[in-house]
Chains A and B, each alone.
Chain A
Amino acid sequence: MINRISVSDGRITKEVQACAVFGVMDRSGRRFRGGMVINAMKNMRVRGNGLGGGFAVYGIYPEYKDCYALHIMFQDDDPGLKQEVDEFLHRNFDVVNDEEIPTNEEASVEDPPLFWRYFVTPQKKGEDKNLSDDDYVVKKVMYINTCINGAYVFSSGKDMGVFKGVGFPEEIADFFMLDELYKGYIWTAHSRFPTNTPGWWGGAHPFCILDWTVVHNGEISSYGTNRRFLEMYGYYCTLYTDTEVIAYAVDLLMRRQRLPIEVVAKIFAPPMWDQIDRMQENERKFYTTLRMVYAPLLINGPFTVIIAHHGEMIGLTDRIRLRPITAGEKGDMLFVSSEEAAIRAVCSHPDRVWTPHGGEPIIGRLRSN
């Protein structure tokens, strides 16, 4: 029998938005508080409109290092909803600990939903036994997101978490008390300027699967091509944002196909044929094949994206640099930002500040001791 995947017929409405992105990493692995990244986002306040802000932080739960940390939002006050999720989680995981995510009642955000975090380890049964832990978690997270109405998993990686919502980034930071409560070695942040959808807490960024997070700015013109290609690999875009498409593409290429970012950057933002045709034989062959095979994952149109997972933070801009990204470094600290001013606002004497070419990734990796 032919196995037919359910794919959408192409008639969906995509969200359009503009944004600011910022990321900072201490490559020595030292963990630091969020004040710096919050200030950087304040500096770029005009790039958002208060309809969405969010942060991803790595290294925040060292005491639960081996558990998947699920940050879950409950949209409705309905106690039955949380009970449904609790039961689902207990059926499928060992829930090592769970608690409400602490929030600041005084923060100036409107109608925040309920947030809960669960530290879990997989309890695989039946045919799920063949799945890797990661694939199992993805499957269960997808289930909650698509099948349990009103519950939404913000993040699902180990020793990391996503905090996001409707408001300016500094308001969201205040709400989750990020500066006071958490220390991490990578912080990425996003401020949103949606042009066609009302704010929704789940619609804010970063976007996360496992410990992979993506913050993104831009409007990709290849959205339909990318989305329809990813559907063939079982990724269904439920949020209809460009960020979601990029996040799934990252998951497919980097996690499932194990391609390094150096290659993935050349798939998202490949060199021009003119350039490839002038390369030496083996390089030319390499790039030609890459473009030929991964053509549907070329990300066209303006974008700046910051991708992070444990041990790595990557900044990338589109192939013709329609949305430039600026990088800076000082000692072990690496910054990537929509604007240079934001870097200078939080690091007065950087060793170096530069604007990389389109398709040239800025890669921050943990230094091996």
Chain B
Amino acid sequence: MAMKSHLLPEFIVERDNERCDSCKVCIKQCPFGVHYYDEEKDRVYSREELCVGCQRCVVYCPKNALKVIPYPKHYRPNDYWNESYIRDIKKQAESGGIILTSCGSARRTKIYWDHILLNASQVTNPSIDPLREPMELRTFLGRKPDALEIDLENMEIKTELHPNLMIEAPILFAGMSYGAISYNAFKSLAMAAKKFGTLFNTGEGGMPKDMREEFKDCTIVQCASGRFGVDPEYLNYSAAIEIKIGQGAKPGIGGHLPGEKVTAEISSTRMIPEGTDALSPAPHHDIYSIEDLSMLIYALKEATNYEKPVCVKIAAVHNVAAIASGMVRAGADIIAIDGFRGGTGATPKIMREHVGIPVELALAAVDQRLREEGIRNKCSVIVGGGIRCAADVVKAIALGADAVYIGTAALIALGCTMCQHCHTGKCAWGICTQDPELSKRLNPKVGAERAYNLLRAWSLEIKDVLGGMGINAIESLRGNRDHLRGIGLEEWELKVLGIKGAGE
């Protein structure tokens, strides 16, 4: 017997019938089938229960006739048994399954960025005007030697150097695979990174052959537990290699790209048969220990003639500092830490909301630990997982990061509205989808321009803040926690962050 669903709609679709002329644009735009045309009445109606709030129809309605607004609090107000728990229970009572979702954690937990304030110069130290003076954001990622041996006469550096990446601002695009996102979204990021002078990251889905030559200098190729698309050519057409151990949105579990998304192009990029599920195991089955990680790091270095830095990415978990130290000792040139607010194309909600720790605390602990062990300059640290604005970037650098990864923010720049329905594969904005009709909504040229503009805008803002602090090169902010103060934080939190309270 069919079960009647008890779920209430999440959004109300309001159509102003004075304005609507039944042009049907919204019907075409909505991949979730919300809008429909009633021929008899010659009017467009909506099935609200299907609406995910992606706002595509609102933006594209030529008559400005639509409003999509959150459904008013439906159940009796209760802080403990709130909407979200009641809804999830009802859903599970109907499906009997795990709740799947996407993007990053949406739960209310303390956002440390918002409890950190920045400094500026007054009197004793002049601020610097970024419109008149150079402000430098250039950043190098990779292992640095303790000292340089220099032949002064010939201006030659005799010390043998490890490979380093040079980027024009401390912001990179985080790993998002072709498969999880559309070819056009993937290419948009690659183009923006190249134009700006930073790097994008392939994620775990390999690199389309047709992009290799053009983007090899701005690509971090990922090698994850599924090893999709990994072969010597893939590894060598890159600026760096990243071993992905875990990600903030779902620490400790693998990935699953359903067979319907494995199109002919994705199948050849990932090197798996068309239409089969692409399953990434939870661990790397050749890495059960730090020694095993070291072997993979050196295997990848061997395969690329020691010409590329190797990055290891982990989710921010409880003992992240000790793990990070082990990674550096195992040979990682860069470590990437993904906080629990990091996004994903699909994850069980329980993992997204409850596993891992905020990247602010993880970063502070890792930076401090590596310094205590005297190995901080043996690696670079990239953090990601919920970087929302240039101020977050500045705070991350001052806490000790060399650079940040942005994933969600980059997708928002392309059009994403955080509807949290990537896992359905029906992204109305052509980002998280393999449906050719939907993908073509995103023109890579326009996408690249938006992503590039975002990098540019944030860089300008970072320069403003630096100038205010009397700093003209980003390296003088790195790990400079003197320029941070906490507000509304407990003593233990200030201690972990290594910052003083405001007014102290």
Chain A residues close to B by CB (< 8 Å): 2-7, 9-11, 13-14, 16-18, 195, 218-225, 228-229, 231-233, 257, 259-260, 262-263, 270, 272-274, 282-283, 285-286, 289-296, 298, 300-302, 319-320, 322
For B145, B473, B495, B499, the residue with the greatest tally of chain A CB atoms inside 10 Å of its CB is B473
The prevalent SS among residues of B at the interface is: loop
Contact B152 A221 (CB under 8 A): no
9 more contacts with CB within 8 A, not counting A273-B134, A298-B473, are: A2-B325, A5-B374, A10-B499, A13-B504, A222-B477, A228-B481, A229-B377, A259-B150, A292-B164
B116 to chain A, nearest CB (A): 13
Contact A300 B473 (CB under 8 A): yes
B123 to chain A, nearest CB (A): 8
Contact A285 B157 (CB under 8 A): yes
Contact B138 A224 (CB under 8 A): no
Determine the distance from Cα of A224 to Cα of B133 in the docked complex, in whole angstroms.
23
Q: Which of B7-15, B365-373, B428-436 has 4 or more CB atoms under 8 Å from chain A?
A: B365-373
Determine the distance from Cα of A13 to Cα of B377 in the docked complex, in whole angstroms.
25
Contact A302 B125 (CB under 8 A): yes
Contact B495 A322 (CB under 8 A): no
Question: B483 in the interface, Cβ–Cβ < 8 Å?
Answer: yes
Q: A292-B164, A296-B479, A301-B470 are in contact. Are A195 and B377 (CB under 8 A)?
A: no
B476 — which chain A residues lie within 8 A by C-beta?
A: 221-222, 225, 298, 300-301
Contact A263 B376 (CB under 8 A): no
Interface digits, B451-484 against A, CB 8 Å rule (1 contact, 0 not)? 0000000000000000001111101111111110
Q: A293-B145, A319-B472 are in contact. Are A5 and B373 (CB under 8 A)?
A: yes
B133 — which chain A residues lie within 8 A by C-beta?
A: 320
Contact B164 A221 (CB under 8 A): no
Question: B353 in the interface, Cβ–Cβ < 8 Å?
Answer: no
Contact B482 A224 (CB under 8 A): yes
Interface digits, B106-141 against A, CB 8 Å rule (1 contact, 0 not)? 000000000000000100111010000110101010
Q: A4-B373, A320-B133 are in contact. Are A225 and B479 (CB under 8 A)?
A: yes
Contact B152 A7 (CB under 8 A): no
For B148, B156, B476, B478, the residue with the greatest tally of chain A CB atoms inside 10 Å of its CB is B476
Contact A290 B472 (CB under 8 A): no
Contact B155 A282 (CB under 8 A): yes
Interface magnitude class on chain B? 35 or more
Closest partner residue, chain B, to A272 (CB atom): B134
For B164, B477, B482, B494, the residue with the greatest tally of chain A CB atoms inside 10 Å of its CB is B482
A184 to chain B, nearest CB (A): 29
Contact B121 A221 (CB under 8 A): yes
Closest partner residue, chain B, to A14 (CB atom): B482
A11 — which chain B residues lie within 8 A by C-beta?
A: 481, 494-495, 498-500
The contact sample of 28 A-B pairs, CB cut-off 8 A, is A2-B325, A4-B372, A10-B482, A10-B499, A13-B504, A195-B124, A218-B125, A221-B121, A221-B125, A221-B469, A222-B480, A224-B482, A228-B479, A229-B479, A231-B371, A232-B374, A263-B152, A272-B134, A282-B156, A283-B155, A285-B157, A286-B155, A293-B161, A295-B473, A296-B377, A301-B471, A302-B125, A302-B470
Picked from A5, A225, A272, A292, the residue with its CB within 8 Å of the CB of B144 is: A292
Question: B147 in the interface, Cβ–Cβ < 8 Å?
Answer: yes
Closest partner residue, chain B, to A9 (CB atom): B498
B356 to chain A, nearest CB (A): 23
A10 — which chain B residues lie within 8 A by C-beta?
A: 368, 479, 481-482, 498-499
B374 — which chain A residues lie within 8 A by C-beta?
A: 3, 5, 232-233
Determine the distance from Cα of A296 to Cα of B397 in the docked complex, in whole angstroms.
13
Picked from B144, B495, B500, the residue with its CB within 8 Å of the CB of A293 is: B144
Determine the distance from Cα of A349 to Cα of B425 in the docked complex, in whole angstroms.
82
A286 — which chain B residues lie within 8 A by C-beta?
A: 155-157
B residues 66-124 in Cβ contact with A at 8 Å = 121, 124
Picked from B124, B140, B373, B498, the residue with its CB within 8 Å of the CB of A295 is: B140
Determine the distance from Cα of A231 to Cα of B377 in the docked complex, in whole angstroms.
12
Determine the distance from Cα of A157 to Cα of B50 in the docked complex, in whole angstroms.
80
Determine the distance from Cα of A2 to Cα of B156 in the docked complex, in whole angstroms.
35
Contact A257 B147 (CB under 8 A): yes
A322 to chain B, nearest CB (A): 6
B124 — which chain A residues lie within 8 A by C-beta?
A: 16-18, 195, 219
Q: A3-B373, A322-B126 are in contact. Are A221 and B498 (CB under 8 A)?
A: no
Closest partner residue, chain B, to A300 (CB atom): B476
Determine the distance from Cα of A201 to Cα of B40 in the docked complex, in whole angstroms.
95
B481 — which chain A residues lie within 8 A by C-beta?
A: 10-11, 224, 228
A228 — which chain B residues lie within 8 A by C-beta?
A: 371, 479-481
B325 — which chain A residues lie within 8 A by C-beta?
A: 2
Closest partner residue, chain A, to B164 (CB atom): A292
Contact A223 B482 (CB under 8 A): yes
Determine the distance from Cα of A319 to Cα of B125 in the docked complex, in whole angstroms.
14
A263 to chain B, nearest CB (A): 6
B472 — which chain A residues lie within 8 A by C-beta?
A: 300, 319-320
A230 to chain B, nearest CB (A): 11
Contact A260 B155 (CB under 8 A): no
Determine the distance from Cα of A294 to Cα of B371 in the docked complex, in whole angstroms.
16
